[in-house]
Every structure is written in C-alpha cells, then in structure tokens.
C-alpha cells in the first residue's frame, strides 16, 4: 500500500467515525518497500490540495524513524504544504513528494487506530479491513 493511501484512510469502526483522532492510522512494525513508478506531475498537482499535510508528516516520521532508511537522505518534508505553483516550479520537491507518496509502500505490519486501538493487519501490502459485525 502506497503512503499516499494512508493519507486518506480512516478507522472503519463505527464508533470512530465521528472522532478526528481516528485519522491517520498509525503504522506499527512496518516493513517498507520502494517501487519504481513514473512521475505524474499532473496527478500530484491534482492531489496536493487534498493532502492532509500534518498527517503526512506524522506518517513519514512514524514509518521512517524506526527504520534505517530515513537518515540516508530521505526527503525532509517542508513544515507547511507547498502551493501548486511551488510544486510545479520545484523539480526536487516534486520528485521527493512523488517518491514518498507514490513509490514508498507499506508491505507488512499493522495499522493502529489512535481512538479504539483496533489493529488492521497488513500482509503483502494488503490491509485487512474486514470487521467483526459488532464493530460495524
């Protein structure tokens, strides 16, 4: 699962729907893999206004800090989101954002809800969102 997807995913448990802390889900014991994907600037420009920048910073800190990838020059995100114009005129920023959102994949581990504590298992990049009926 791309890190992009984590920026949109919420807890599926019924009682968490109204709580803003059920987003983003927190990766635990995460194993990452990097994929080669062709850069699609128009897509990033389309998505930029929809990204939750704060959540993106949280997620990248949570997945990279415990691993050894982070210190090896992995992109540091700016503190506030760039404007569309900034993204379009800054090649490095575009590439960094692309590699973070589109090329970095969560392969194994868990996604944990900050409210109810439910853990969604991730195997071979596929999160299991099937819920027992009393949580729906």
Partner 1 sequence: MSRPEDTLLADVHYDDVEARKYTTSSRIQNIQASMTRRALELLDLKTPSLILDVGCGSGLSGEILSDIPPEEGGPHVWIGMDISPSMLDVALQRDVEGDLFLADIGQGVPFRAGTFDAAISISAIQWLCNAESSETSPQQRLARFFGGLYQSLKRGGRAVCQFYPKNDVQKQMITSAAVKAGFGAGMLEDDPDTKNVKVYLVLTAGQSAVANTKSGDITGVVENMEGVDVVDNRRQGRSSGKGEIKKGSKQWIIKKKEQMERKGKVVKTTSKYTGRKRRIAF
Residues at the contact surface with partner 1, assessed by CB under 8 A: 1-2, 4-5, 8-12, 23, 37, 40, 42-43, 46-47, 50, 52, 102, 124-131, 133, 136
The 8-class DSSP code of residue 66 comes to T
* Of the candidate residues 113, 120, 122, 127, the single one contacting Zn ion (CB under 5 A): 113
Q: Identify which of 1, 3, 126 has the alpha carbon closest to the alpha carbon of residue 59.
A: 3
Q: According to the binding rule CB under 5 A, does residue 25 interact with Zn ion?
A: no
Q: Which of 4, 6, 22, 100 binds Zn ion (CB under 5 A)?
A: 22
- Residue 116 is classified by DSSP as T
Integer CA distances (angstroms), 94 to 14, 54, 87, 90, in order: 37, 18, 6, 6
Binding flag, residue 116, Zn ion (CB under 5 A): yes
Backbone phi, psi, residue 104, to 5°: -95, 125
Q: Which residues bind Zn ion (CB under 5 A)?
A: 11, 13, 16, 22, 113, 115-116, 118
């Amino acid at each position: 699962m791309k890190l992009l997807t984590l920026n949109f995913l919420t807890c599926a448990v019924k009682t968490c729907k109204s709580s803003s802390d059920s987003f983003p889900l927190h990766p635990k014991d995460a194993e990452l893999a990097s994929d080669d994907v062709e850069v699609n600037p128009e897509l990033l420009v389309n998505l930029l206004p929809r990204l939750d920048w704060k959540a993106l910073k949280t997620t990248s800190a949570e997945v990279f800090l415990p691993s050894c990838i982070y210190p090896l020059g992995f992109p540091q995100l700016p503190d506030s989101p760039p404007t569309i114009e900034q993204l379009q005129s800054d090649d490095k920023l575009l590439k960094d954002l692309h590699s973070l959102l589109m090329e970095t994949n969560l392969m194994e581990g868990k996604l944990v809800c900050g409210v109810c504590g439910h853990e969604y298992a991730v195997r071979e990049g596929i999160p299991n969102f099937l819920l027992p009926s009393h949580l729906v």
